[in-house]
Structure 1
């Protein structure tokens, strides 16, 4: 056995992700190569296509003709890639977009990074330094946890609390109330369930104990926004979970992702001007990581214009498709983990083996979903995550539901004494 083989074997024996590694050869829904797309239909070879319910391009801007036709000017102006790190120089389009984003979400300033992951690595470490306290919602995104572990290794304290367990959160805050550097880390919209964090209650606790709330709204930004109504359940303008709840940004560091609703490689921090300046000086990814490609900046700039003109129409369609999908799945007896009607729909299936088998059935019948086995989710909660976009059609949702009827029948036949899937 050579050294590489030994390293792989050792890591398989001690890392939970070995379960995922082992599935790569068993699942048709993993590691695909798209050779052609037609709308939300993906061709994986010349003979087989699947309808895409695994994309997070919620507003469908990746396929918007106006978006595709109008970005060339910025590429001609700035070249395909501004290869300075941002500490050296930034094309003026950065400042233009940062001002637009600040106006949209209602904050003093924003600062763009390539990804939410880089923001977490840079900003969380900058906020807590070597002696601060990080308190992580256990349902928060894995990338926040990875960033928090780096901060812990640098001397910070890392604690956690179960989703919605405000009593445990308050106990942590009480214990460390004299530490001035306390940061509570939450998702705005949970990436597996689509449910919303209890932001107002968490912010109230943060103010009581002088803590900062760091909100990763990678999924919420662009979909949820201010002034939700029965006619517009997601709210208006897609300006994020903070505005959805009608809050200001006191005690909040807001992180918006643009790779989802805006189909662009970019993310941003919303904060005060003083905090923006601090982040520039103390966040390593700001001065050492590569910048966003010009095409991504151009698509984001154009997406912000489209959002002002047509964004609410896209959100209305997105809600209608999500409503149709969730109601259809629940009518079959599936357990759907979604209380918000956000276009992330998690369907519990069974154990890892059931999840693998049903994923392969879906693929064979032309449906692509995000397969979520252990350790992506807790043992006993394995299943499939469906994500809808405004570029999907009602007919495609009907095909999805028909395929889930097939896997419902398959599971009933396999587990004849299990009543979970019976209506």
Structure 2
């Protein structure tokens, strides 16, 4: 008679699941000095803020004209909320397009001196909506390597052939355009690069587009309201006007509110309204936000002293900030980056400024290229001359620590 012996149960082998893998990646980021943390803002946005219980001078907001808590914007938002409530309840193409949205589009078109404007809920959604609607398979996108992540993501999602050229390298871009046999060609670039603060060579980009039958899409998130005599952004800065330009800007930076818009030829806006999925398939932003943006646009048009003061602060920082080891990058805009180098050193530098009551973020890869971790200083018209001189003194002391 044969006896069968049950085998002993095998020791369970641990196969990492997705959550284990995610934790391992987070641990690796932490070890490389790349883990990000949120701070809690406990006050209104401005030059002086309360963050995580501390009162600080902030040099890390994109509120370039100091309008985010301006009484005119606050009053406009309150009044609109009293009239129409808060939620829009539907997309723009159903019943979400309210009177304030319509007025804002008209006012922006007037300010920009362009035929038509279409609002989007955010700049990220605007870039996704514009690029994926205009190009697809068989087309080609040509993108600066330092473009914002939203432009890169939009180009990939469009399924067009993506060609990235070295930062502001016009010869490389021309070579790519000359070789292209794509049906539609779209060059996309930030007008003011958000981590370097430099301005794209827009006239030369437009000339190449005209030569090679391409269109030029500009993301002017950091130029609108700041550049140009009247705050019309990079197009006014360079005195440009062309039907080949597709202009996008945001309303959450210099305008002090939230949202974004695309401006250009009427046929462009009409086409995007019919085909742009991020526009069609999302609930319209609250009308009180549009009302606040309208108030911000009015101040951009009428209060030029804010821009003048901001540019005076930019000049002051560049004239008086003398550093030995760290490098203040060339920039004529409100974005003034200082290259520190390593991730840990940039974090330590930011920490030393924080101890002195100054809030300046450390920007690390992948937001910026490896080895170029930096302090990203954002100046605002809400800052004073004394604020900037204090910042310079603290920076110089932190560098020598």
Q: Which residue does the alignment assign to 2:312? A: 320
2:142 to 132, 135, 144: 135
Q: Given the alignment of the two structures, is residue 273 of structure 1 paired with residue 266 of structure 2, yes or no?
A: yes
The one of 399, 405, 420 equivalent to 2:390 is: 399
CA distance in 2, matches of 1:37, 1:20: 31
TM, length-normalised to structure 2: 0.91
How many residues are aligned here?
386
Distance 2:122 2:293 in 1: 13
Question: Residues 112-151 of structure 1: CA distance to partner in whole angstroms, max 9, x if unpaired?
Answer: 0011111111111111122210111001111111111212
2-structure distance, mates of 1:73, 1:35: 24
CA contact (8 A) 2:33 2:343 kept: no
- The answer (yes or no) to whether the contact 1:20–1:375 under 8 Å persists in 2 is no
Pick from 165, 172, 176 the counterpart of residue 169 of structure 2. 165
Give the superposition deviation at 1:77.
2.0
Kindly state the Cα deviation for residue 86 of structure 1 after the two structures are TM-superposed.
1.1
CA contact (8 A) 2:132 2:158 kept: yes
- Show the counterpart of 1:352: 343
State the SS of the aligned residue for 2:94. coil
Secondary structure in 1 matching 2:87: coil
The SS at the match of 1:56 is coil
Q: 1:253 aligns with which of 246, 253, 261?
A: 246
Matched, 1:150 2:154: no
CA pair 39-260 structure 1, distance change in 2 beyond 3 A: closer
Counterparts in 2 of 1:296-315, with a 5 A limit?
296-310=289-303, 312-315=304-307
Quick check: 2:57–2:357 contact (8 Å CA) kept in 1?
yes
Task: Kindly provide the CA deviation profile for residues 227-277 of structure 1, in whole angstroms up to 9, marking residues without a partner as x.
Answer: xxxxxxxxx111011121111132110001111101211100011111111
RMSD: 2.1
Is the alpha carbon distance of 1:179 and 1:4 closer, same or farther for their aligned partners in structure 2, counting shifts above 3 Å?
A: closer
Is contact 2:45–2:68 with CA below 8 Å preserved after alignment? Answer: no
Give me the TM-score of the superposition, normalised by structure 1.
0.86
What CA distance in whole angstroms lies between the structure 1 residues aligned with 2:219 and 2:251? 12
5+ residue gaps in structure 2? 1-13
Aligned to 1:336: 328
Specify the alignment match of 1:180 in structure 2: 183
Match of 1:19 among 15, 24, 29: 29
Q: d(CA) in 2 for partners of 1:314 and 1:265?
A: 19
Q: Which of 382, 387, 392 is the aligned partner of 2:373?
A: 382
Residues in 1 aligned to 2:246 and 2:372: alpha-carbon distance in whole angstroms: 31
Cα offsets for 1:202-228 (capped at 9, x unmatched): 100101111011100011001002xxx
For 1:239 and 1:303, the matched residues in 2 are separated by 13
Alpha-carbon contact 1:113-1:266 (below 8 Å) kept: yes
CA displacement, residues 297-328 of structure 1 (integer Å, 9 cap, x when unaligned): 11111111222221x10001101111112222
Contiguous gaps of at least 5 residues in structure 1: 226-235, 411-423
Q: For the residues of structure 2 that align with 1:146 and 1:218, how far apart are their CA atoms?
A: 17
The one of 210, 229, 234 equivalent to 1:241 is: 234
For the residues of structure 2 that align with 1:106 and 1:44, how far apart are their CA atoms?
40
1:16-50: CA deviations, max 9, x gaps?
Answer: xx63796476x8xx41112235852222344x322
Tell me, in whole angstroms, the C-alpha distance in 1 between the residues paired with 2:74 and 2:17: 47
In 1, Cα distance between the equivalents of 2:52 and 2:146?
A: 36
Whole-angstrom distance in 2 between the partners of 1:39 and 1:93: 26
The Cα shift of 1:354 comes to 0.9
Q: Please give the residue correspondences for 1:34-49 in structure 2 after superposition, counting only pairs within 5 Å.
A: 34-37=41-44, 39-46=46-53, 48-49=54-55
Q: Which residue of 2 aligns with 1:213?
A: 216
Contact conserved, 2:63 with 2:380, CA < 8 A, in 1? yes
Distance 2:166 2:322 in 1: 26
Aligned residue for 1:180, secondary structure, equals coil
Matched residues in 1 for 2:108 and 2:52: separation? 40
